[in-house]
Chains A and B, each alone.
Chain A
Amino acid sequence: MGEEIRLTVNGEKRVAHAAQNTPLIYVLRNELGLKGTRLGCGANQCGACHVLIDGQSVASCDTPLWAAADKNVVTIEGLGTPAHAHRLQRAFIAEQAGQCGYCLSGIIISAEALLARTPDPTEDEVRAALDRHLCRCGTHNRAVRAVLRAAKDAA
Chain B
Amino acid sequence: METVPHPETQSAKTPERLAYSVQEAADLLGVNYFSVYRLVQRGKLKVCRALRGKLLVPRDELLKLLKSE
Q: Does B bind A?
A: no
| A residues apposed to B, CB below 8 Å | none
- B: which residues have CB within 8 A of A? none
